[in-house]
Structure 1
């Protein structure tokens, strides 16, 4: 990564957790999404009493980047942070959104409460992604 190393990106995701709105699950998630121009867009999970209206941190970050003019292919890396014993992966809906906007070889950094980092690619996280090639 050119402008930010993975530890800095992960730390940005960890810092974001404090902004999560999680009155029901008490499960804060923070995300830092590095864009190809060096910009970092952050996201948190935002819950709703109608749980189907809840938005995950990963989608918050991607949708914010899109709202700010970024497009498919502008995404360079993503870090996901939570307070979990194991590494915290994106949910299946968020994986599909990542597959829509990100290249298969994009780095994905998953963390845990011990501040360890698991590095994999989007393709490793979602090996059989449904893409526009399947349409």
Structure 2
């Protein structure tokens, strides 16, 4: 678990957060040992900001990975407590990672491990629109 957390903290260095000053890093790990990183990228038009975990998962998908390839995702920040994904990220993760994939949250002092079903129970998904 240390490797994915370390890579997420490395990604945090790439964050562009001139407004909030709240830098987040994320890393997706696949079952075949690949890692995909992402950092939060802010925009003066706040709605156009993209979170680290979405950037990491989109990087994995852009490289051909799919839900069944994803083992875990780490999301890190240097805040007082480990950061939890925002609602938009929870919705994206609920569709793009396996239900039991580990979601690892860390602030460098504390590590919490959860999954998307715990973070977003009764999520709305593809089955709801069939």
- Into which bin does the TM-score normalised by the smaller protein fall? over 0.9
Paired residue secondary structure (1:55):
coil
Report the Cα offset of residue 73 of structure 1. Answer: 2.2
Q: Residues of 1 paired with 2:122 and 2:79: CA distance?
A: 26
In the alignment, is residue 134 of structure 1 matched against residue 128 of structure 2? yes
Q: Is the Cα–Cα contact under 8 Å of residues 31 and 57 in structure 1 kept in the other structure?
A: yes
Q: Structure 1, residues 22-55: CA drift from partner, whole Å, max 9, x if none?
A: 1111110000100122100000001111111111
> Size of the alignment, in residue pairs?
129
Q: Residues of 2 paired with 1:41 and 1:113: CA distance?
A: 19
Q: Residues of 2 paired with 1:31 and 1:59: CA distance?
A: 9
Q: Residues of 1 paired with 2:47 and 2:127: CA distance?
A: 29
Which residue of structure 2 lines up, in the alignment, with residue 96 of structure 1? 91
Aligned-pair Cα RMSD in Å: 1.1
In the alignment, is residue 118 of structure 1 matched against residue 112 of structure 2? yes
In the alignment, is residue 84 of structure 1 matched against residue 66 of structure 2? no
Q: Is the Cα–Cα contact under 8 Å of residues 73 and 101 in structure 1 kept in the other structure?
A: no
TM-score, length-normalised on structure 2? 0.93
Which residue of structure 2 lines up, in the alignment, with residue 3 of structure 1? none
- Where in structure 1 do 4 or more consecutive aligned residues deviate above 4 Å? none
For residues 1-135 of structure 1, the aligned pairs below 5 Å read: 6-114=1-109, 116-135=110-129
